[in-house]
Amino acid sequence: MAGENPYAAPQARVADAPAGRGSALKALALGLLADLGGTFVVGFVLGMVGLLALGMSPEEVAAAANSTDSWLFYAGGAAGLDGGGPLIGLHLGAAFGSSKLWPAEAYGRLARFLIDDGLRPVLLGTSDDAATAAGVARAAGADVASLVGRDRVALLPRLLARLRCLVSGDTGVAHLAAAVGVATVTLFGPSDRRLTAPRGRTARVLDREVPCSPCFRPTCPIDHICLRRIEPETVRDEVRSVVA
């Protein structure tokens, strides 16, 4: 049915969790479930934060997360993550809409810069981002490791913890990365950094002052100048500042 919330059941499950130790986590889980929609972040919220809110100890949740290590090892090897150098995640998608997407060409140029700096960019996203990932690789002129479309429910927290930095648009993934202590460089266009910027000592935000931003539109009716004016060189410099 149009307008029906497909995450009402998960929200109810977390809302019914007992108060006490998990009360703050309950609030976080409910907020993320309400805001993030159908991304694989929902799986993380229910699989990790939700479990804490429901009374599992941090040790029990860590054990559940550790069970994904073997999958991550094999998937990471297949994706080209078994080399040397710090991992820099490039998250390509946004459930909100295309207005939050940095161009594939820009991500590709950034990936090339990172490779030249001795860093290892890895593309992240759902299967919907496969065409964008191919465009990134073309623009980079090199093989770029990719886990696009290979996500699993419990993969994201373990993967984020292995990154030195995450570059993304204004998405829930950026907030989760910042929450687990990963450096973030978040690119803002149609949304307002004052409202939804990730928090943290190593959280960086980039945006550009243009007359139409923030517009809060899921698609851009003109030429997307808010994000196109963020240059890959500028993003590279921010990544350098947090991984140095």
Q: Percent of the chain scored above 90 by pLDDT?
A: 45
What pLDDT does residue 154 have? 58
Token pair 């984020």 in the structure block, residue: 160
Residue 118 and residue 47 share a domain:
no
Count Cβ atoms below 10 Å from residue 149 Cβ, excluding itself: 14
> Does 53 share its domain with 132?
no
Q: Which domain holds residue 52?
A: 8-66
Question: Which are the contacts of 137, defined by CB distance < 8 A and separation ≥ 6?
Answer: 108, 111, 143, 144, 146
Asked if residue 234 is part of any domain, the answer here is yes
The domain boundary residue, chosen from 40, 66, 92: 66
In the predicted structure, residue 88 carries a pLDDT above the cut 60: yes
Same domain for 17 and 90, yes or no, is no
Model confidence at 91: pLDDT above 80: yes
pLDDT of residue 92: 96
Contacts of residue 188, defined as CB under 8 A and 6 or more positions apart, other chains included, come to: 169, 170, 197, 205, 206, 207, 213, 214, 226
Residues 117, 81 share a domain: yes
- Position with higher pLDDT, 54 vs 206: 206
pLDDT above 70 for 81? no
CB-count exposure of residue 207 (10 Å: 0-12, 13-18, 19+) = buried
For tokens 């030429």, name the residue: 223
Share of the chain above pLDDT 70, in %: 64
Q: How far apart are CA 172 and CA 200, in angstroms?
A: 14
Q: Decide if 38 is inside a domain.
A: yes
Going from the C-alpha of 53 to that of each of 24, 28, 40, the distances in angstroms are 8, 9, 19
| Range with the poorest average pLDDT among 76-80, 109-113, 147-151, 225-229 | 76-80
Burial of residue 58 (CB within 10 Å: 0-12, 13-18, 19+) is exposed
Q: Give the pLDDT confidence score for residue 118 in this predicted structure.
A: 94
Alpha-carbon distances, residue 200 vs 26, 89, 194 (angstroms): 20, 17, 14
In this structure, the answer to whether residues 61 and 77 fall within a common structural domain is: no
219 in a structural domain: yes
Give the whole-angstrom CA distance, residue 175 versus residue 165. 12
CB contact set of 70 (below 8 Å; sequence gap of 6+): none
3-state secondary structure of 94: coil
The b-or-e profile of 60-76 (16+ CB within 10 A means b, else e) is ebeeebeebeeebeebb
pLDDT at position 14 over 50: no
Query: Is residue 189 located within the same domain as residue 98?
Result: yes
> Of 29, 45, 66, at which residue does a domain stop?
66
Which helix (H) or strand (E) segment holds residue 43: the answer is: helix 41-44
pLDDT tens for 32-76 read 444 444 333 444 444 455 445 445 555 555 554 554 454 454 455
Burial label, 118 (beta-carbon count in 10 A; 0-12, 13-18, 19+)? exposed
Q: pTM for the whole thing?
A: 0.71
Query: Residue 3 falls within a domain, yes or no?
Result: no
